[in-house]
Structure 1
Amino acid sequence: MAAAAPERVAVVTGGTRGIGRGIADCLARDGYSLVLGYNSDAATAEAAAAELRAAHGVQVHTVGGDLTLPTTADALFEAVTSHFGGRCTALVHNAGLYIGVTSVLDAQPAPMGSADDDWEAHWAYYHATYVMAFKRLLERAQRCEGLRHVVATSAQGCNASWGPSLAYEAPGQAEAGLEYLVRFHALRLAAQGVNVNAIVSGFIKTLAWDKLSAPEEVKERLVAAMPAQRWGQPHEIGELAAFLCSDRAAFLTGAGIPVDGGLHLRN
Structure 2
Amino acid sequence: MSDLSAFSLDGKRVLVTGANTGIGQGIAVSIAKAGGEVVAVGRSSMGETEARIGALGGKIIAHRCDLGDHATVKTLIRDVWEKIGPLDGLVNNAGIIRRADSVDLTDADWDEVIDLNLKTSFLLCQAFGRQTMAEGRRGRIVNIASLLSFQGGIRVASYTASKHGLLGITRILANEWAGAGVNVNAIAPGYIESNNTEALRADGGRSAAILARIPANRWGKPDDIGGAVVFLLAEASSYVHGATIPVDGGWLAR
- Using the size of structure 1 for normalisation, the TM-score is 0.82
Q: Does the CA contact (< 8 Å) of 2:12 and 2:36 recur in 1? A: yes
- What's the CA shift for 1:230? 0.8
Q: Name the structure 1 match of 2:141.
A: 150
- Using the size of structure 2 for normalisation, the TM-score is 0.85
Of 224, 234, 243, the residue aligned with 1:236 is 224
**Distance in structure 1 (CA, Å) of the matches to 2:197 and 2:69:** 23
Q: Does the CA contact (< 8 Å) of 2:97 and 2:196 recur in 1? A: no
Q: Name the structure 1 match of 2:93.
A: 94
User: Of Structure 1 and Structure 2, which has the larger fraction of its residues in helix?
Assistant: 2
- Report percent identity of matched pairs: 26
**Distance in structure 2 (CA, Å) of the matches to 1:217 and 1:260:** 20
User: Deviations 1:120-177 (Å, cap 9, x if unpaired)?
Assistant: 3333222211221122111221314534211001111222xx3x22423221111111
**Distance in structure 1 (CA, Å) of the matches to 2:207 and 2:201:** 10
Partner AA of 1:21 in structure 2:
Q
Q: Does the CA contact (< 8 Å) of 2:102 and 2:156 recur in 1? A: no
**Distance in structure 2 (CA, Å) of the matches to 1:73 and 1:27:** 24
Question: What is the SS of the residue equivalent to 1:229?
Answer: coil
Question: What is the SS of the residue equivalent to 1:56?
Answer: coil
Q: How does 1:1-267 map to 2 (within 5 A)?
A: 7-39=11-43, 41-42=44-45, 45-75=46-76, 77-84=78-85, 87-99=86-98, 111-113=100-102, 115=104, 117-118=105-106, 120-142=107-129, 143-144=131-132, 146-159=137-150, 162=151, 164-212=152-200, 214-266=202-254
Aligned pairs, how many? 241
Name whichever of 233-242 and 29-38 sits farther off: 29-38
Q: CA RMSD in A?
A: 2.2
**Distance in structure 2 (CA, Å) of the matches to 1:234 and 1:166:** 23
Partner AA of 2:87 in structure 1:
C
Q: Does the CA contact (< 8 Å) of 1:157 and 1:168 recur in 2? A: no
**Distance in structure 2 (CA, Å) of the matches to 1:62 and 1:212:** 31
**Distance in structure 2 (CA, Å) of the matches to 1:14 and 1:59:** 14
Partner AA of 1:36 in structure 2:
A
- Mark the CA change 1:97 to 1:19 in structure 2 (over 3 Å): closer, same or farther: same
- The gaps in structure 2 that reach 5 residues or longer are 1-9
Q: Does the CA contact (< 8 Å) of 1:205 and 1:234 recur in 2? A: yes
Q: Does the CA contact (< 8 Å) of 1:92 and 1:151 recur in 2? A: yes
Partner AA of 1:60 in structure 2:
I
Question: What is the SS of the residue equivalent to 2:23?
Answer: helix
**Distance in structure 2 (CA, Å) of the matches to 1:185 and 1:140:** 12
Q: Does the CA contact (< 8 Å) of 2:29 and 2:52 recur in 1? A: no
